[in-house]
Structure 1
Amino acid sequence: MSAQAALMRRIARNNRWSNDRLYRAVLALQPGEFSVERTGFFPSIAETLNHILAIDLYYLDALLEGGVGPAVFYDFKSFDDPAALADAQTAEDVRLMAFCDALCEEDMDRRVVTDRGEAGRFPERINDLLIHLFLHQVHHRGQVHAMLSGTSVRPPQLDEFFLDFDVPLRREEMTRLQLDDER
């Protein structure tokens, strides 16, 4: 496996880990806190997390050359139930990890088409789309993290990568999520 492909594989796993931590906090919210209006780019935790999922669906479709394109957004049904949303996000995280697991060096510079609707169709490099997708996740997870500060639940720590120092502290999570192969 190439260094770039190996890095994408590790980032996909870290993405899964971070989403799991965030959703564990969200699932502990008191009734009403998930959808109450808050300060943020999207006006609630629910809307922000639904946005993350919709964008994941869009870009993973492009990466897998599924051909759905912007119809992902027209067909997307927002989740009102945080548990159902967590399950849907987990499924996409697992699909993204599987995609990254299958990457080889030649794939990193290969171009796939992103259909931007009326703006046109744009061929993009797979590694650029993946980095874009991961940065999008980090950006909006940070917004949810800030919103959690105004709830009954303490925001989880999300600013970690798989550092050797952290492994003993995170062993249970890594085992539960089947991420032990990263160590």
Structure 2
Amino acid sequence: MPNKEYAVAMARYNVWQNANLIQAATGLDQPTRQKARGSFFDNIEATFAHLLWGDRIWLSRFAETPAPQGGIAQSTALPQGWARFCADRAAFDRQILKWAHGVDSAWFEGDLTWHSGALGKDVTKPKRILVLQLFNHQTHHRGQIHAMLTAAGAKPGDTDVPFMPDQYNEI
């Protein structure tokens, strides 16, 4: 079950993989990143945007950081363009990592109650399950992004946890 060490390891992996996929996506032009590809959020940029929105919503619940605007339906826009998204993504990845390093081990023992906009009601779940959800949601959508990038001719780097470069294991 998730604990502090798991959160730190997955936050490091998150930094690595977002940088990996963003580098591959940056090699594509905007029309290619925005081309409909039949994924749940339709295209590369929309899926990246939703992923950042999801990370922000979960961290707002875990650490009282500012919540993103809008709900899931509004989560797919890059309102300030690709370059700004890339900078915001990298900065938020560092925020997730900072949270993981700083969270008290005892925090994982409790429950968290929040209002789910998707369900339209308050929900209470164990924090460990919700941390698992944060990182599982990232992996799920990064897999979609990886597939779309590959279909577009981009070549993302490795994604396997054991091959994470040492520089990410030390941050």
Q: TM-score range by the shorter chain?
A: 0.7 to 0.9
Q: Deviations over 1:36-75 (max 9, x none)?
A: 111211111011111101111111111113585x855388
- Give TM-score, length-normalised by structure 2: 0.84
Counterpart CA distance in 2 for 1:26 and 1:67 is: 27
Q: How many residues align?
A: 167
- Give TM-score, length-normalised by structure 1: 0.79
Percentage of pairs with the same residue: 23
Q: Deviations over 1:89-125 (max 9, x none)?
A: 1122111111111122211112232211462222333
Q: Letter of the aligned partner of 1:96 in structure 2?
A: I
Counterpart CA distance in 2 for 1:6 and 1:36 is: 38
**Aligned in 2, Cα 1:78/1:35: closer, same or farther, shift over 3 Å?**
same
Please give the root-mean-square deviation of Cα atoms over the aligned residues, in Å: 2.5
Which has the greater radius of gyration?
1
Counterpart CA distance in 2 for 1:67 and 1:143 is: 27
Q: How far does residue 82 in structure 1 lie from its aligned partner after superposition?
A: 2.2
Counterpart CA distance in 2 for 1:96 and 1:78 is: 21
Q: In structure 1, what is the equivalent of residue 35 of structure 2?
A: 36
Q: In structure 2, what is the equivalent of residue 181 of structure 1?
A: 170
Q: In structure 2, what is the equivalent of residue 116 of structure 1?
A: 116
Runs of 4 or more consecutive aligned structure 1 residues displaced over 4 Å after TM superposition: 74-77
Q: In structure 2, what is the equivalent of residue 134 of structure 1?
A: 135
**Aligned in 2, Cα 1:31/1:96: closer, same or farther, shift over 3 Å?**
closer
Q: In structure 1, what is the equivalent of residue 61 of structure 2?
A: 62
Q: Could you tell me which runs of 5 or more consecutive residues in structure 1 were left unpaired when the two chains were aligned.
A: none
Q: Could you tell me which runs of 5 or more consecutive residues in structure 2 were left unpaired when the two chains were aligned.
A: none
* 1:40-119 superposed matches below 5 A: 40-66=39-65, 68=67, 71-73=69-71, 78-79=77-78, 81-117=81-117, 119=120
Counterpart CA distance in 1 for 2:148 and 2:169 is: 31
Q: Letter of the aligned partner of 2:123 in structure 1?
A: F
